[in-house]
Amino acid sequence: MRLINLLKKELVQEARDWVKEDIISREQANVILARYGQSLEQGQGKGAFGYYVLMSLAVFFAGLSLLLLVSENWNQIPRMLRMVGLLVLTLSSNGMGLFYFRRQNYRASVLWLLFGSISYGVSIMLIAQIYHLGEHFPDGIYWWALGVLPLVVATQSRLIAFLVAALAFIWMFVEAGLEFFPLSFPIFILVVGWLIFWHKTSNLLYLMVITGALIWLNLSVSWLVGGRIEYEVSTDMVLFNIGLGLIFNGFSWRLMSSHNSHWKSYGLVSHLWLLRASLITLFIFSFDDVWHEFQFVDYQAFWWSVTYLFVAGVAGLSLARRSGKHAYLPMTMIWLYFLISFSLLSLNQNLSFYLTLLTNIVLVVMGILLIRRGIHQVESHYFYTGVVTLLILAFIRYFDLIGGYLGGAALFLVAASILLGAARYWKKVQGDEQPDDINSVVESTQGGRDHDSI
């Protein structure tokens, strides 16, 4: 799965230029674009789309204005008048939405329904304000989100789905902040997920769904550990999240190997974020103090967590198995590294030095694998991520020595040996193809630089 899938709209524009300059025919352009789920005809109504985006923002700002207007607390105006005013506004906005929907003017319909939905939420808050409702205030946000949720199904609008997802997130956070468990959060995630997987495309909503699911799963575990009375953060949750990362990475590879171009994009987006997250995690574990702390801290269910990590790795790898070695090689390495490292912690001996050393070697190998992938797939993003990983590692280790000056020197020597060995092996395997590949990567980035300088 190539990064160009995240630049599909730019590709359509490029293809239009190629057709205009008679480099390729219109049919050829459409055949090329079809590989990415696009066509020359897509995005023709850019003017209308721009108008729609600006109108959506205007509605959003008008809604915020309404919310603040109500917050001013107009005691001078009778309660009933204030309430009826907002109720009429909610009904008329939604009524206009329904009217335009019946006339098949969907964009106008969505904008009216969006304003109606905000007005509905403001009405909930106004009643709470007028009658001094001091009850659990996240309930107001919950009923707001729940009252708008069916509109996602009816209109299949990303705008309304975004409002629902944002409200669901706010509700989840305030609910958890008050030591309550947001049990029904998955309902919102499932409906938004249904929209973006089977009806519309939105990388932003996809990230919200994935992030929401991860946060909710963490809250669930923390809530269970706390005896369903309070949240309790346990050390085992680190293993839980590493396992989740492996499963989600496998899921991302599965999406990237699907025939659906939208799903491919989703897979690529989550894969890139997981790659960054895994590198940050490895950098955190590359410090001696971190492993020292993990060695002596209490665990709730240590072996259950290690077993779960084993199962999560198997699940992630089985999901990613048909995507080739770029998928399963780094995954297997990270899986085995965490599995072995955490298993060794049970020996009750101070192994933090060796585990830190192992983490640094894993980071070196990760850097090499990324550089290799970047060259092999002619993708500068992976190439430079690998290079930056190795440079950051060298920078950190130069200041934060492992085992004093001699230990640090030995580590750099080991890293240099691995890099040399990898380079020689590469030369042997790649033969004459390697220089061309490297040139392509360098040229692709050089071109970008030239373009920037212009």
Partner 1 sequence: MTQFKRGIAVVSKPVSKKLSTILIALVIILQVSILIVEYLGSVWPIWYGKAVVLETQPIDPRSLFRGNYVRLNFDINRLEQDELMPDNLLKVGSVAYLQLKEFDGVWRPVKLSSQAPESGDFIRGRVREAYPSHYRLDYGIEAFFMPKEEALTLQNDVRSYSQFKVYISKSGKARVNSVLCIDENCTIPRN
Which residues are at the interface with partner 1 (CB under 8 A)? 34-35, 37, 67, 70-73, 75, 83, 87, 90-91, 94-95, 97-98, 101-102, 104, 113, 116, 120-121, 123-125, 127-137, 140-141, 143, 147-148, 150-151, 153-156, 197-201, 229-230, 259-263
Comparing CB distances to partner 1, the nearer of 129 and 445 is 129
Of the two residues 72 and 452, which places its CB atom closer to partner 1 in the complex? 72
Smallest gap, in angstroms, from Cβ of residue 185 to partner 1? 18
**In angstroms, rounded to a whole number, what is the distance separating the alpha carbons of residues 417 and 402?**
18
Q: What is the 3-state secondary structure (H, E, C) of 349-360?
A: CCCHHHHHHHHH
Measured CA angle at 338 (ends 334, 341), to 5 deg = 135
Cβ nearer to partner 1, comparing 203 with 260: 260
Nearest CB to partner 1, comparing residues 160 and 415: 160
In the three-class reduction of DSSP (H, G, I as helix; E, B as strand; rest coil), residue 69 is classed as helix
Whichever of 34 and 423 has its CB closer to partner 1, that residue is: 34
Task: Give the residue among 259, 289, 277, 245 at the shortest CA–CA distance from 396.
Answer: 289
Cα atoms in the Cβ-side hemisphere of radius 13 Å centred on 16: 13
Nearer to partner 1 (CB atom), residue 101 or residue 412: 101
* Interatomic CA distance for residues 411 and 417, integer angstroms: 10
Alpha carbon distance 264, 5 (integer Å): 8
Quick one: tokens of 195?
């929209």
Closest distance of CB 389 from partner 1, Å: 34
- Based on its alpha-carbon atoms, the radius of gyration of the chain, rounded to whole angstroms, reads 27
- Residue count of the chain: 454
Measured CA to CA in angstroms, residue 227 lies from 222, 232, 236, 306 at distances of: 9, 9, 15, 21
Q: Whose Cβ is closer to partner 1: residue 150's or residue 448's?
A: 150
What is the closest distance, in whole angstroms, from the C-beta atom of residue 154 to partner 1 in the complex? Answer: 4
Min dist. Cβ of residue 262 to partner 1 (A): 6
C-alpha atoms less than 13 angstroms from C-alpha of 197 in its C-beta half-sphere: 12
Q: How far is the CB of 320 from partner 1 (least distance, A)?
A: 21
Cα–Cα distance measured from residue 344 to residue 359, given in angstroms and rounded to the nearest whole number: 13
- Give the integer Cα–Cα distance in Å for 168 and 160: 12
For the bound state, the minimum distance from the C-beta of residue 255 to partner 1, rounded and expressed in Å, comes to 12
Smallest distance from the beta carbon of 33 to partner 1, in angstroms? 9
Nearer to partner 1 by Cβ, of 130 and 329: the residue is 130
> Is 163:135 a contact under the CB 8 Å cutoff?
no
- As to burial, measured by CB atoms within 10 angstroms (0-12 exposed, 13-18 middle, 19+ buried), residue 377 is middle
Nearer CB in complex with partner 1: 41/289: 41
Closest contact distance (angstroms) between CB of 83 and partner 1 is: 7
Distance separating alpha carbons of residues 300 and 231, to the nearest angstrom: 14
Spatial neighbors of 61 by CB under 8 A, at least 6 apart, are none
Answer for the pair 189, 198: CB distance below 8 angstroms, yes or no.
Answer: no
Q: Give 143 or 353: the residue with its C-beta nearer to partner 1.
A: 143
CB of 391 to partner 1, least distance (A): 39
- Collapsing DSSP states into helix, strand and coil, what is residue 225? helix
